[in-house]
């Protein structure tokens, strides 16, 4: 879902500024309870890093070991867990940061380190757990807080919060990244329910919708200033998108239809700023396939044609503004092929031209029934247009 896509983009910024992230890390790494011994265990991060890069420094492996306290063979108190995963966006060459924080590294830069820290009660997660990420595999890791998850009885219950970061800006005097909440959603027993939000760095809501049993349901509102229309909506049914609605700046619908993998599918309609339908087309996985209808600004039909696999084939009909048929032409692979009929606004038949099997002339009339142009074709290709 879009929530995860925005989350991934946000952490791409935050991971490049370890000075700030080291400060946030210190809040979440309190020592384990004193009444029980520290239990150091192998972590998934150690295993995967060794498989990927071979032998690593013992000190690094120790820093990436799961640790916390145990009592009666159950985890208790604060624990740290480490994981890692492939990272296609991580740098593959040594890094040099800006003048505020500089160092070189020979890290391969192809994995993303993950750390989570929080409390156990009788072996079950309880309370707020903090999750961090870093693309460095050697100190300083540059852990950056990316998510807070509320647990109750070892299940996610409560608000899950994700964080984004605004990079430093010397012009504005921002010397360290500024942290902000980039998303919120509510979970009950590990299942997302109720409203979900995504925010921009100014705190404005850019995504708002409802989750039911972990799936999007109903209308989701999106607002992005970079878009031509400023906002759009998506309609979901049990997590399946059934319609996308774009808007003009004045709030009227600009277009609506279903998108699958960013491609229109099914009937897609477009409207002018006054709310009148100007275009209705049928798509199949992003390709025109089926009837298409074009309309005048007052909503009356202007032209109709049928597409097959992206090309106009069959009868193309154009209309005068009063609704009377203007002309009919048989189309073949997007080319005018044969003139079928021609009428003036009163329905009186006019000379249509000699176009047949792609070759010949095609006469064009205005809404007053006057001849305005003659087009000449050869094998469906336009050779010349004579204005009258």
**252-260 long-range CB contacts below 8 Å, 24 or more apart?**
254/229, 257/283, 260/285
Strand partners, 303: 294, 318
Does any domain span residue 227? Answer: no
pLDDT tens, residue by residue, 346-357: 999 999 999 999
Tokens, residue 31: 């020592």
Shared domain check, 141 and 34: yes
**Number of independent structural domains in the chain:** 3
Tokens, residue 112: 């993303």
**Res 183: pLDDT:** 96
**Res 58: pLDDT:** 81
**Residue scoring higher pLDDT (98 or 321):** 321
Does any domain span residue 295? Answer: yes
**Residue scoring higher pLDDT (166 or 359):** 359
Shared domain check, 126 and 19: yes
Task: Quote the mean pLDDT of the chain.
Answer: 82
Shared domain check, 335 and 297: no
**Res 362: pLDDT:** 93
Shared domain check, 63 and 138: yes
Does any domain span residue 231? Answer: no
Shared domain check, 252 and 182: no
pLDDT tens, residue by residue, 22-55: 334 433 344 444 446 788 888 888 888 777 667 7
pLDDT tens, residue by residue, 119-170: 999 999 999 999 999 877 777 788 899 999 999 999 999 999 999 988 776 6
Shared domain check, 330 and 276: no
**Res 37: pLDDT:** 73
pLDDT band at 249 (very low <50, low <70, confident <90, very high): confident
Shared domain check, 321 and 268: no
State percent of the chain over pLDDT 90. Answer: 55
**Res 110: pLDDT:** 63
pLDDT tens, residue by residue, 63-78: 899 999 999 889 999 9
Does any domain span residue 209? Answer: no
Q: Burial of 136 by CB count in 10 Å (0-12 exposed, 13-18 middle, 19+ buried)?
A: buried
Could you count the other beta carbons within 10 Å of the beta carbon of residue 281?
20
At residue 18, does pLDDT exceed 80?
no
Given 284, 312, 340, the domain boundary residue is 312
Shared domain check, 156 and 13: yes
Asked, as a colleague might, if the bond just before 140 is cis with ω within 30 of 0, I would say yes
Shared domain check, 297 and 386: no
Does any domain span residue 236? Answer: no
Cα–Cα dist 151/119, whole Å: 9
Does any domain span residue 285? Answer: yes
At residue 265, does pLDDT exceed 70?
yes
Q: Tokens 């590294």 belong to which residue?
A: 105
Shared domain check, 147 and 71: yes
Given 258, 281, 312, the domain boundary residue is 312
**Res 100: pLDDT:** 31
Shared domain check, 127 and 14: yes
CATH at 260 = 2.20.110.10
Does any domain span residue 152? Answer: yes
pLDDT tens, residue by residue, 158-217: 999 999 988 776 666 667 778 899 999 999 999 999 999 999 888 889 999 999 999 999
Given 277, 292, 312, the domain boundary residue is 312
Shared domain check, 336 and 303: no
Provide the CA 129 distance to its chain's centre, in angstroms.
27
Mean pLDDT of 226-242: 79
Return the half-sphere exposure (C-beta side, CA atoms, 13 A cut-off) of residue 369. Answer: 11
Global confidence as pTM: 0.67
Does any domain span residue 12? Answer: yes
pLDDT band at 104 (very low <50, low <70, confident <90, very high): very low
pLDDT band at 92 (very low <50, low <70, confident <90, very high): low
């Amino acid at each position: 879902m879009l929530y995860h896509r925005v989350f991934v983009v946000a952490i791409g910024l935050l991971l490049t500024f370890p000075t700030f992230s080291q400060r946030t890390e210190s809040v979440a790494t309190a020592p384990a309870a004193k009444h029980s011994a520290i239990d150091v265990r192998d972590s998934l991060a150690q295993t995967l890093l060794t498989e990927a890069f071979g032998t690593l420094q013992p000190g690094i492996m120790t820093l990436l070991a799961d640790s916390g306290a145990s009592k009666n063979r159950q985890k208790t108190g604060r624990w740290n867990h480490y994981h890692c995963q492939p990272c296609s966006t991580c740098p593959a060459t040594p890094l040099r940061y800006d003048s505020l924080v500089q160092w070189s590294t020979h890290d391969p830069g192809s994995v993303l380190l993950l750390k989570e820290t929080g409390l156990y009660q009788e072996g079950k997660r309880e309370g707020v757990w903090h999750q961090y990420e870093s693309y460095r595999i050697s100190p300083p890791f540059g852990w950056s807080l990316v998510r807070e998850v509320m647990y109750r009885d070892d299940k996610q219950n409560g608000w899950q919060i994700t964080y984004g970061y605004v990079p430093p800006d010397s012009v504005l005097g921002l010397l360290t990244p500024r942290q902000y909440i980039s998303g919120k959603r509510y979970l009950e027993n590990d299942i997302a329910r109720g409203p979900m939000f995504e925010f921009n760095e100014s705190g404005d809501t850019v995504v708002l919708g409802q989750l039911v049993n972990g799936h999007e349901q109903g209308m989701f509102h999106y607002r992005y200033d970079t878009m031509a229309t400023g906002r759009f909506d998506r309609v979901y049914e049990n997590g399946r998108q059934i319609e996308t609605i774009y808007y003009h700046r004045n709030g009227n619908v600009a277009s609506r239809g279903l998108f699958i993998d960013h491609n229109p599918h099914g009937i897609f309609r477009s409207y002018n700023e006054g709310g009148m339908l100007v275009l209705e087309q049928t798509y199949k996985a992003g390709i025109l396939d089926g009837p298409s209808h074009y309309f005048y600004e007052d909503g009356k039909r202007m032209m109709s044609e049928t597409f097959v696999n992206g090309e106009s084939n069959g009868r193309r009909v154009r209309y005068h503004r009063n609704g009377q048929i203007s002309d009919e032409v048989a189309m073949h692979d997007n080319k005018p092929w044969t003139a079928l009929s021609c009428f003036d606004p009163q329905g009186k038949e006019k000379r249509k031209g000699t176009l047949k099997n792609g070759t010949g002339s095609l006469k064009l009339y205005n809404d007053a029934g006057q001849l305005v142009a003659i087009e000449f074709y050869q094998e469906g290709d336009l050779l010349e247009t004579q204005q009258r």
